[in-house]
Amino acid sequence: MIAKRHNPLPGFGLTMGCTILYLSVIVLIPIGGLFLRTLEMSWADFWRLATADRALAAYKLTFGASLIGASINAVFGTIVAWVLVRYEFPGKRFFDALVDFPFALPTAVAGLTLSNLFAANGWLGQFLVPMGIKGSFTPLGVVIALTFIGLPFVVRTLQPVLESFEREVEEAAATLGAGRLRTFFSIVAPTLLPAIITGFALAFARAIGEYGSVIFIAGNKPYESEIAPLLIVIRLEEYDYTAAMALAVVLLVVSFLLLITINLLERWASRYQT
């Protein structure tokens, strides 16, 4: 509070007070309430509910599909960011703007249109289903939906890094006789890696909690294509609040851990940007 004495701007008390109050009422107290209610359960009960067979199957699908989706995005997101920053081609600005589409499109609409596209009579499904690739109402559908919603993260994290990347370093490597591939893997890739990993983690974190787009395309069969957030909703609809809370606490703890990881990753990545 020492700095405040030198700062003649008004309104610190008022705006800070409003911020803390609003944050507490909307976010902190309700989340704290969930944890407090969960503490009323015995540890044995909590463990039984959080690790029931159906719950384990749901975590497996949620985490597995999120991991695959985020990995697909790490690979293709890197290519997309590279192409959008380095090359000129017709429609470039349009595609660049379109990358944010999964952020802007309501998840229910995303799920609806994706499940229709990959269904047996859909535009893509009519070719893919005869080949044995069933995208709708299967665990593969979960991966498709989670890839869609995570698509912007890697691209948008990587783009500014690529834009500020100094071409002189590449030129120096080339002048010294390194081929393009060697330049890429020993000069470019290590610089991009922190940003790619950060984007991957952001896409993964988003995918873990995703609900809307998945339930339209997954088929939602217990033990097979049922994600963890859906199981929470099912327990709530059965008025089984304790089971819903146990699952929610597991998801929340994972989200918090990911949030901390992402903060550390961003700090690590920013060290590479000068």
Partner 1 sequence: MGGNVSRMNRDATAKSQRGTEESPLVKGLLVGVCGLFLAVFLLLPLINVFAQALAKGWQLYWASLREPDSLAAIKLTLQIAAIVVPLNTLFGVCAAWAIAKFEFRGKSLLITLIDLPFAVSPVVAGLIYVIMFGLQGYLGPWLDRHDIQIIFAVPGIALATIFVTFPFVARELIPVMQATGREQEEAALTLGAGAWRTFWHVTLPSVKWGLLYGIILCNARAMGEFGAVSVVSGHVSGVTNTMPLHVEKLYNEYQGPAAFAVASLLALLALVTLGLKTLLEWKQQREYQNAQVSATEAAVGRQPE
Which 152-181 positions form the footprint of partner 1 (CB under 8 A)?
167, 170-171, 173-175, 178-180
What secondary structure letter does DSSP report for 188? Answer: I
Among residues 54, 68, 156, 211, which is the contact residue for partner 1, using CB under 8 A? Answer: 211
Residue count of the chain, please give it.
Answer: 274
Among residues 56, 60, 64, 106, which is the contact residue for partner 1, using CB under 8 A? Answer: 106
CA–CA distances in Å: residue 39 to residues 34, 35, 125, 131, 255: 9, 6, 47, 50, 19
Q: Is 124 in the site for partner 1 (CB under 8 A)?
A: yes
Q: How far is the CB of 268 from partner 1 (least distance, A)?
A: 15
Name every residue whose Cβ is closer than 8 Å to that of residue 246 and which is 6 or more positions away in sequence.
38, 41, 45, 46, 49, 50
Closer CB to partner 1, 15 or 51, in the complex: 15
Q: How far is the CB of 194 from partner 1 (least distance, A)?
A: 19
Q: Is 123 in the site for partner 1 (CB under 8 A)?
A: yes
Sign of the alpha-carbon dihedral angle for 20, 21, 27, 31? positive
Quote the Cα angle for 25-227-112, to 5°: 90
Separation between Cα atoms, residue 47 and residue 244, nearest integer Å = 13
Q: Is 104 in the site for partner 1 (CB under 8 A)?
A: yes
Among residues 137, 148, 153, 165, which is the contact residue for partner 1, using CB under 8 A? Answer: 148
Q: Which of residues 41-80 bind partner 1 (CB under 8 A)?
A: 76, 79-80
The window from 44-52, 157-165, 193-201, 227-235 that contacts partner 1 (CB under 8 A) reads 227-235
Q: How far is the CB of 7 from partner 1 (least distance, A)?
A: 6
The window from 40-48, 49-57, 98-106, 218-226 that contacts partner 1 (CB under 8 A) reads 98-106
Closer CB to partner 1, 3 or 44, in the complex: 3
Among residues 196, 208, 243, 265, which is the contact residue for partner 1, using CB under 8 A? Answer: 208
Q: How far is the CB of 215 from partner 1 (least distance, A)?
A: 8
Residue owning tokens 């309700």: 30
Nearest to 101 by CA among 54, 31, 158, 148: 148
Q: Which of residues 125-144 bind partner 1 (CB under 8 A)?
A: none
Separation between Cα atoms, residue 21 and residue 268, nearest integer Å = 32
Chain centroid to CA 7: 39
